[in-house]
A and B are shown apart, each in its own frame.
Chain A
Amino acid sequence: MKSIMKKEASIAVIIIILSIVLSFINPVFLTIDNILDILKGNVVLGILAMGMTLVIITGGIDVSVAAVTTAVCVVIGKLLVMVPDHIGALFLLLVIACLLGIILGGINGFLVSKIEIPAIVVTLGTMSMINGIVLYVTNGQYLNSTDFPKVFLKFSNIKILGVSILIWLFFLIAILTWFLLKHTVMGREILAIGGNKESALRVGINFNKVQIFVFAYMGFLAGIAAIAQISYTKAVDPNGLSGLELSVIAAVVLGGTNIMGGRGTVIGTILGVLLLGIIQNGLILARIDIFWQKVVVGLIILLAVSYDHIQYKRAQAQLSRIEIDS
């Protein structure tokens, strides 16, 4: 338990140091306006990272998240230009987006658990299929907000206490995921399976059920992320999310989730998303030359992960010493 808290603390320390450095270089960094922009810009990444945390804790991985989100975006985009300008239509779309996401995620979960194909193979397959279908349906056509109903544009501009609704949405999802992981039987089962699959099976946890659940939950969040993405860009770009799955996985791993499964927290993932967002934002504010930005990004990621890993190893060493002593 303590080692998990330490893990988060180490990422937080890196974020704080980075923030201090950045605000010295450019005072704009610490303005509320800028921080809200960073948060808003990473809502889609953050929502997807929540689901990915659960998937990775069970020892799986889902590389089809960006494709699923794009597919939902495209379907919702097609519906958006058809629905009447009414608040009810908005809720209907939200429900459709979630259902569609759950179905697509459920297919992944079904293939992974029932047919026992490794998760990376399944999701690579579904990613390719979904991308192909999306390309066929849209022909790459970009859809802009001219034909969107006004109520949708109004929704995406709502601010509560000066903070965009998208950011609230992200926090809502984070709390939901935290609650799920911490206080429900399902959440405990997810952690148990990631920790030690054999013992989890022996105490009677239904492995298939848990796997289908995490992939369906991932799909559900992809549906929500699709709505957030359309609200954020006020457009549907079939190519706009390509490659996002890598950032999502990077954020989760940066946040201290073990890529082999078993370890991971919601807070950690939030910090991972923040770190990625701050790096992206800070590099322009710090006026670092474009060619060096990529080098710096890689450097910070390596630093963060190795710092974190060294901490972890130290804790482990301490543990084994105690065992010898006793």
Chain B
Amino acid sequence: MKKLKFFVSLLFLFGLLAGCVSQNSATSNKSANNGQASETKNDANGKLKIAVVPKLVGIPYFNAAEKGALQAGKDLGVDVIYTGPTEADAAQQVKIIEDLISQKVDVIAVAPNDPASLTPVLKKAKEQGIKVIDWDTPADQSIVELSIHQIDDEIYGRHIAKTLIEKIGTDKGEIAILTGGLSAANLNAWIDAAKKELEENYPGIKLVTDKIATDEKQQVAYQKTLDLIKSYPNLKGIMAFSTPAPLGAAQAIQEKGLQNKITVVGTALPKDSKPFLEDQSLDVAILWEPNKLGYLTVALAKDLVEGKKPQDGQNIDNVGKIEVKEDGKTVIMGPPTDFTAENAGNYDF
């Protein structure tokens, strides 16, 4: 019995160790080749090292961004390190950036989970001569040299509202808004822009209730949509923000067979929304292409190290024309992409 207990606890210990090792090995082989790099800054073959840090790894959106970033690394001849926390946690992100600083990378591009908590560590990186930029979500603007946005929040929100009205086919009626979480700054910015568009240009549209939170979960969005349909029988349209919300809303519409009565427009990835787009339960999914965002981040990071500033209207290979705001450092990738039943099959994210 005692032996058995010992054996099992040993097994448990191994399990724990194995967990640590797999994580370490990923970072340690990076730090291994930066051991030599620390002297010359660039490693043996003189390649630039660009670190791209997402909010978290392991969700389809950031996986697509990773693909684009790595592709850019290959195309442009730079080393790209794509690493991030396993959950959207600011403290874990700080640790990862500390680690990247000691690896002496040339650029750190970060999508902060919480901008304020990253400020000290980003300052430290800057003091060590590392270029700091942000992508996907803005960091502390006094530190970053470039701020790469996928989209103009204002244009995006308005575009979603406009598309919804267009698909409803009339500018009178009741609509509702679903959101991922009440505290997500980017979702709130889009929703505010969408509301502004409705107020200014479509006074006949009535928002039946304040935005409804769906906890970034499809089944919650599904249940809330079912409840919405029942409480507001005249509902004509739903705008769903955050990637799982449109899928849940569409699923409810599909199940109740209301495709012709209620229009759903939302921010979803094309591959996930394809089955709903095909039977019109989801009318349009509107998003940007995250792989291009990853690509653009690496391309601009490389330019930055080489002393080239982005120009308004500049054409980036594989991405397209970019827009640069007056401050010279806020870059906008471009207009949103509409995914519909016709084109959703062409994307692999």
Contact = CB atoms under 8 A, between A and B. Distances in A.
Contacts of B231: 26, 28, 284-285, 287
Give the interface residue-count category, chain A.
35 or more
A240 interface: yes
Interface in B252-289: 272, 274-275
B28 to A, nearest CB: 18
Interface stretch (A83-91, A229-237, A267-275): A229-237
B227 interface: yes
B63 A280 contact: no
B8 interface: yes
Contact of A290 (B182, B226, B227): B182
A255 to B, nearest CB: 21
B308 interface: no
A144 interface: yes
Interface stretch (B133-141, B149-157, B212-220, B327-335): B212-220
B217 A284 contact: no
Contacts of B9: 115
A142 B251 contact: no
Given A28-B230, A144-B275, A235 B218 contact: yes
Contacts of A114: 4-5, 8
A110 B219 CA distance: 33
A23 interface: no
A118 interface: no
A319 interface: no
Nearest to B219: A233
B244 interface: yes
A258 interface: no
A73 to B, nearest CB: 12
A280 B222 CA distance: 13
B63 A141 contact: yes
A33 B227 CA distance: 11
Given A114-B8, A233-B218, A290 B212 contact: yes
B228 interface: yes
Interface stretch (A132-140, A214-222, A306-314): A132-140
Interface string B284-318: 00000000000000000000000000000000000
B275 A33 contact: no
A284 B228 contact: yes
A37 B211 contact: no
B313 to A, nearest CB: 36
A206 interface: no
B5 A115 contact: yes
A281 interface: yes
B226 A144 contact: no
Given A139-B58, A144-B275, A287 B230 contact: no
Given A28-B230, A281-B227, A285-B227, A140 B60 contact: yes
B229 to A, nearest CB: 10
Given A26-B231, A285-B231, A237 B182 contact: no
A237 B218 contact: yes
B40 interface: no
A291 B183 CA distance: 11
Nearest to A135: B58
A129 B212 contact: no
B212 A284 contact: yes
> Closest 7 interchain pairs by CB?
A140-B58, A284-B227, A140-B59, A28-B230, A41-B223, A285-B231, A135-B58
Given A281-B227, A285-B230, 18 more contacts: A28-B230, A34-B230, A37-B223, A37-B226, A41-B226, A110-B8, A132-B86, A135-B58, A135-B86, A139-B58, A140-B58, A140-B63, A237-B244, A239-B59, A239-B216, A280-B223, A281-B223, A290-B211
Interface of B: 4-5, 8-9, 12, 15, 19, 58-60, 63, 86, 182, 209-213, 215-219, 222-224, 226-228, 230-231, 244, 247, 251, 272, 274-275
20 contacts: A37-B227, A115-B8, A115-B9, A135-B58, A139-B58, A139-B63, A140-B58, A140-B60, A142-B60, A142-B244, A142-B272, A146-B275, A235-B247, A237-B217, A243-B215, A284-B227, A285-B227, A287-B209, A289-B210, A290-B213
